[in-house]
Amino acid sequence: MVEASSIYYAHSSSVDDRSTWHRLVDHLKDTAHLAGAFGCFAGIGRAAFLAGLMHDLGKYTAGFQARLAGAKEQVDHSTAGAAVVAGLAQGDDRYIAELIAYAIAGHHAGLPDKRGEGHSTLSERVGKFEIALLDSVWKRELRPEVSRLVPAFAGKWLPGRTSFHMQFLGRMIFSCLVDADFKDTEAFFARVEACQPDRTWPALPTLIDALSSAFDRYMAGRRKDDTDVNRLRSEVLDHVRSKAGERPPARGCG
């Protein structure tokens, strides 16, 4: 492991003395708390928190820090967290850790395939990952807890690990991570650039009736009953919309 005493940064600013640069440990912890808060509503708080905490682990490298300072060499900073998280979990937590690994690996470019042709699959990237490039200071600064990742609701179906359940859960973790990463990064640049992001959008309740009417008109033009598949699509849509007004089950943070 590389050992260093320097401060690691997630984002740079226009100030050369780095006094306003975004410290990496702050970005990772703040993103983790935000992602965990998002995930809490779906019962995946612990998994989303861990994804946020480890998503930029690859920035604990001399290569990435040089990149922030102006070096031109491209640096893959998304694979490190995916590789490390997948190797830390034990027992059933390994299934959730693998989903977290997908989310981390794809938090900029989109969710990767597990395997296949090319060099962008998760297996290919993790296989080429060199942990020796990471400064081990990350262990002291982050202290990740890779346990109790399985959401309470998943205990019923995890042994079977149906593809739909797993991919949907993975996309929920991915969504929490990407949104949290974006918002924390945006907040940093808003501070250092003394600007305020435009958030003066209309409130959803003021738009929902018009949006629903527009959706109804659009779908009415798309509805077809000429084949069994099209009839089934219409039935599925009608069923889903009929259930949309029901109260969701209560979820605790998980």
Q: Provide the pLDDT confidence category of residue 12 given band limits of 50, 70 and 90.
A: very high
**Per-residue pLDDT at 2:** 46
SS (H, E, C) 72-140: CCCCCCCHHHHHHHHHHCCCCHHHHHHHHHHHHHCCCCCCCCCCCCCCCCHHHHHHHCCHHHCECHHHH
* Maximum average pLDDT range among 143-147, 162-166, 177-181: 177-181
Token couple for 13: 């600013």
**Per-residue pLDDT at 158:** 64
Is the pLDDT assigned to residue 248 strictly greater than 50? yes
The H or E element that residue 6 is part of is none
Is the pLDDT assigned to residue 148 strictly greater than 60? yes
Distance CA 214, CA 185 (A): 34
Q: Encode pLDDT of 46-100 as tens digits.
A: 999 999 999 999 999 999 999 999 998 888 898 999 999 988 999 989 989 999 9
Q: Provide the pLDDT confidence category of residue 141 given band limits of 50, 70 and 90.
A: very high
**Per-residue pLDDT at 206:** 93
Is the pLDDT assigned to residue 119 strictly greater than 70? no
Is the pLDDT assigned to residue 156 strictly greater than 70? no
Distance CA 187, CA 179 (A): 12
**Per-residue pLDDT at 52:** 98
**Per-residue pLDDT at 1:** 47
Asked if residues 148 and 140 have their Cβ atoms less than 8 Å apart, the reply is no
**Per-residue pLDDT at 76:** 86
User: Terminus-to-terminus CA distance in the chain, angstroms?
Assistant: 33
Asked if residues 151 and 1 have their Cβ atoms less than 8 Å apart, the reply is no
* pTM exceeds 0.75, yes or no: yes
C-beta atoms surrounding 186 within 10 Å:
11
Q: Encode pLDDT of 19-34 as tens digits.
A: 999 999 999 999 999 9
- DSSP state for residue 12 in the 8-state scheme: -
Asked if residues 10 and 56 have their Cβ atoms less than 8 Å apart, the reply is yes
∠ CA 189-190-191, rounded to 5°: 90
**Per-residue pLDDT at 3:** 44
Asked if residues 169 and 99 have their Cβ atoms less than 8 Å apart, the reply is yes
